[in-house]
Chains A and B, each alone.
Chain A
């Protein structure tokens, strides 16, 4: 089992729709979870982080965490063509060695 799993997509949504991105992780002791956005040829940039169970909202983005199910998701409301990118889920593993592991990433296309 991979440590962090995502559906690689591509996920295609029309402009203005909600995009839903999902991620599962294997280390039950993990405490912190991140969503990064990466445009082609660029480095990852942080979109959201979440540490506690439940929802966390920031503008058009909502991160959801369920530690019992080892599941974290990202919702993008009112999707824009500029949101088209690869979204990477990252988990700080509870190893004491500062190990941050990325999922395979989900490619999102927002159609105008």
Chain B
């Protein structure tokens, strides 16, 4: 299994809603990432988990809350989002070795209304 699976593929939520994005990989990768990508912009790093511990938080607003329940799963909990948070949210994983590439999921297209 060489895939990173993200669910859902599309999500529309209101500004008062609470929702979660999910990411799963079974490649034994111990580093997992959340990126946010706006149209015509590069992926912007949000969070990095290494060995199930949050190792990097790129000053992301608290309305985004990551969680890594185990080595295969990564969640992103969303609450009180703003319309400008609408974007493609990408999950990625890689082995816990710096000289390795990241494998990306297909992304969740989030629209906040």
Contact = CB atoms under 8 A, between A and B. Distances in A.
A78 interface: no
A98 B99 contact: no
Interface in A54-112: 88, 90, 92, 94, 96-105
Contact of B102 (A90, A97, A104): A90
B42 A94 contact: no
Contact of A32 (B35, B92, B99, B109): B99
A44 to B, nearest CB: 5
B96 interface: yes
Nearest to A35: B101
Nearest to B35: A102
B55 A97 contact: yes
Interface residues of A, number: 25
Interface residue tally of chain B, by bracket? 20 to 34
Given A43-B90, A88-B43, A100 B99 contact: no
Contacts of A98: 31, 48, 50, 55-56, 94, 96, 98
9 contacts: A32-B100, A43-B104, A97-B55, A98-B48, A98-B96, A98-B98, A99-B56, A102-B35, A105-B42
Interface of B: 31, 33, 35, 41-45, 48, 50, 55-56, 88, 90, 92, 94, 96, 98-107, 109
Given A98-B31, A98-B55, 13 more contacts: A31-B99, A43-B106, A44-B43, A45-B104, A88-B43, A92-B99, A97-B56, A98-B48, A98-B94, A99-B56, A102-B42, A104-B41, A104-B42
